[in-house]
Structure 1
Amino acid sequence: MQLRVFEPRYVDLVRECTRAERPFGVNLILEGAEAGVAATPAAVGTLATIRDFFSLRDGLLGILAEGGQRFRVRQTRVRNDGQLRADVTLWPIEPAQILPPEFSLLATILERLLDAYAKDNAVLYAAPQLDDAVWVGCRLAELLPLARAERQSLLELQDPLARLGALNMLLPRFQRDG
């Protein structure tokens, strides 16, 4: 994911994560906003590791971060600078799983999405794993135009086949008539 770093607390976070070579957490905001007072995050998020820095057209810092292991928030606190910190429990990493044939249409849809999307984001999807049920499900949940709550519920599923089944149920919404 590409992020625009625009608040001093986030610049500090980027500096701290870079120096310590550690990830930061990314959670859906349930209440509040990205800027200003600390927001209320969803209970499940993902770790993100900074992979690159760049300057944006407006002069602000941009970062390229790679999502990683998911976690559940146990407790949060707000630092004096407004930065939200949390104690988390890491979820086990879902092992790669061969994509069952009944979900091959999802891999085809993802491949087309990547062809269209990856032109400007080749570094994000340089090594597609279209035969892995985990990778296909997570990338579709990331790239399809879903409501935030739908995306969150898909990413909270811990069974890759259940995630693919839920995505299959959403497919009619994306079909064109005629």
Structure 2
Amino acid sequence: MTESLPLFPLHSVLLPGAALGLRIFEPRYLDLVRDCGRNARGFGVCLILSGAEVGAPATPAAYGTEALIEDFGSSDDGLLTLQVRGARRFHVRRTRVRDNGLLVADVDWCPDDPDDELRAEHGLLSTLLERVIGHVGGEFAKAPAARLDDAAWVGWRLAQLLPLADAQRQSLLQEDDPHARLDLLLQLMP
């Protein structure tokens, strides 16, 4: 079922489960946050294919991630700050621009990741993720050990934590099968 979703195009890729901090200052995005608060819903984050984050509406990638607002505040310079977390993935069918310059998309939601266990050929990736998390710490350091056997979770966390280019993260975001996503990660590693 197609649904209308306001977009916040960025020069980065938001992945499911990943946190992202945003500074909001453009009126169109202040309107977006106000609408999301009133309607208790999120907005879409898409990688910018051409254009800039400020000014004229940018051209977004065809796949993105729903951003759910977890916290908000203000910075020292008085700007609204948001802490969002990636939720569902979506595919953009078409876009339109509102009078205030806000990009709105008709989207189809991608299927949820299945609760598949990691396959033997991807065991190295689980070990790598465990070491990366042990080194950088952060919010995932306290995750239950069972998460390291979850194919989707391992793939998303590696896509988030490894030093990948935005185009590489975008190709991982567009992959529906968590095992194929892990295969892509193996190909990207030296």
TM score, norm. by length of structure 2: 0.82
* Match 2:39 to one of 13, 20, 30: 20
Rounded Cα–Cα distance in structure 2 between residues aligned with 1:147 and 1:21: 32
Long gaps (5+) in structure 2: 1-19
Rounded Cα–Cα distance in structure 2 between residues aligned with 1:130 and 1:6: 39
> Number of aligned pairs?
169
Which residue number corresponds to residue 137 of structure 1?
A: 155
* Match 2:61 to one of 28, 42, 56: 42
Deviates more, 1:104-113 or 1:161-170: 104-113
Evaluate the alpha carbon distance shift between residue 118 and residue 53 of structure 1 in structure 2; reply closer, same or farther with a 3 A threshold. farther
Rounded Cα–Cα distance in structure 2 between residues aligned with 1:53 and 1:43: 28
Deviations 1:52-103 (A, max 9, x none): 1132343322111111111111110011111100111111111121112321
Q: Is the Cα contact below 8 Å between 2:56 and 2:101 reproduced in 1? A: yes
Q: Extract structure 1 runs of 4+ deviating beyond 3 A.
A: 115-119, 124-128
The amino acid across from 2:24 in the alignment is: V
Deviation of 1:161 after TM superposition, in Å, equals: 0.8
Evaluate the alpha carbon distance shift between residue 11 and residue 116 of structure 1 in structure 2; reply closer, same or farther with a 3 A threshold. farther
Deviation of 1:155 after TM superposition, in Å, equals: 1.1
Structure ranking higher on relative contact order (CA contacts 8 Å, 6+ apart): 2
Which residue number corresponds to residue 50 of structure 2?
A: 31
Which residue number corresponds to residue 127 of structure 1?
A: 143
Q: Superposition RMSD on alpha carbons, in Å?
A: 1.8
Deviations 1:145-173 (A, max 9, x none): 1121111011111111111111112221x
The amino acid across from 1:21 in the alignment is: A
Q: Is the Cα contact below 8 Å between 2:50 and 2:59 reproduced in 1? A: yes
1:77 paired to 2:77: no
Deviates more, 1:152-161 or 1:109-118: 109-118
Deviations 1:34-55 (A, max 9, x none): 1100000000111111111132
